[in-house]
C-alpha cells in the first residue's frame, strides 16, 4: 500500500454550532461542505478548508478524543487486503458513500487511520 496524500483530518465534536463558529470565525477557515438539512446524515458532518487539507467535524454525543487522518489510496479494497495479509487488524471494513470508499485501521498505539478513495479520483 502507498498513501498518495492526506485527504482530510477529522475531529469529533459535541456541539456543531459552537465548533463551526470556532473553526470558521475564530480560526478563519472557510466551510467547504455544509452540514445539510436537519435530520440528514450530512447534518452531523462538515468540512473546512485548511489550505489544501480539509478538516472534518463529526457530531458525536460524547467527546471522542481521537482525531483521525484520512490517507488517500488508489484502491481501498486492495489496500485493506494487503494490510490484512500483513496481520493488520481492520477496525472498520470498507464502506461506500456517495462520493468515496473508506476503511479504518490503527497504528500500534491505537491511533486511527482512515484509508480513503474518492470516486472522482482526486486526492489531497
Asked whether residue 123 is assigned to any structural domain, the reply reads no
C-beta neighbour count of 36 within 10 angstroms: 13
Q: How many domains does the chain have?
A: 1
Asked whether residue 95 is assigned to any structural domain, the reply reads yes
- The CA R_g of the chain, rounded to the nearest whole Å, is 15
pLDDT tens digits, one per residue of 61-114: 876 777 888 999 999 999 999 999 999 999 999 999 999 999 999 887 677 889
Asked whether residue 105 is assigned to any structural domain, the reply reads yes
Asked whether residue 20 is assigned to any structural domain, the reply reads yes
The set of cell numbers assigned to 1 is: 500500500
Asked whether residue 59 is assigned to any structural domain, the reply reads yes
- Transcribe 39-95 into DSSP letters: TSGGGGEEEEESSSSEEEEEE-SS-----EEEEE-S-HHHHHHHHHHTT--EEEEEE
The per-residue pLDDT for 23 is: 87
Asked whether residue 46 is assigned to any structural domain, the reply reads yes
Model pTM score:
0.70
Asked whether residue 124 is assigned to any structural domain, the reply reads no
Asked whether residue 25 is assigned to any structural domain, the reply reads yes
CA distance 92 to 12: 17
Contact between 15 and 8 (Cβ < 8 Å): no
pLDDT tens digits, one per residue of 103-121: 999 887 677 889 999 999 9
The per-residue pLDDT for 69 is: 86
Q: Give the CATH number, domain containing residue 34.
A: 3.10.180.10
Q: DSSP label at 29?
A: P
| Residue-number span of the structural domain to which 95 is assigned | 5-118
Amino acid at each position: 500500500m502507498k498513501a498518495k496524500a492526506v485527504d482530510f483530518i477529522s475531529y469529533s465534536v459535541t456541539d456543531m454550532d459552537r465548533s463551526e463558529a470556532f473553526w470558521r470565525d475564530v480560526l478563519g477557515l472557510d466551510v467547504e461542505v455544509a452540514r445539510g438539512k436537519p435530520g440528514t446524515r450530512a447534518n452531523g458532518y462538515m468540512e473546512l478548508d485548511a489550505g489544501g487539507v480539509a478538516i472534518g467535524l463529526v457530531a458525536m454525543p460524547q467527546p471522542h478524543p481521537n482525531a483521525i487522518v484520512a490517507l488517500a489510496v488508489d484502491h481501498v479494497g486492495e489496500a485493506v487486503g494487503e494490510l490484512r495479509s500483513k496481520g493488520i487488524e481492520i477496525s472498520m471494513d470498507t464502506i461506500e458513500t456517495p462520493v468515496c470508499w473508506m476503511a479504518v485501521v490503527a497504528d500500534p498505539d491505537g491511533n486511527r487511520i482512515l484509508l480513503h478513495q474518492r470516486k472522482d479520483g482526486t486526492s489531497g
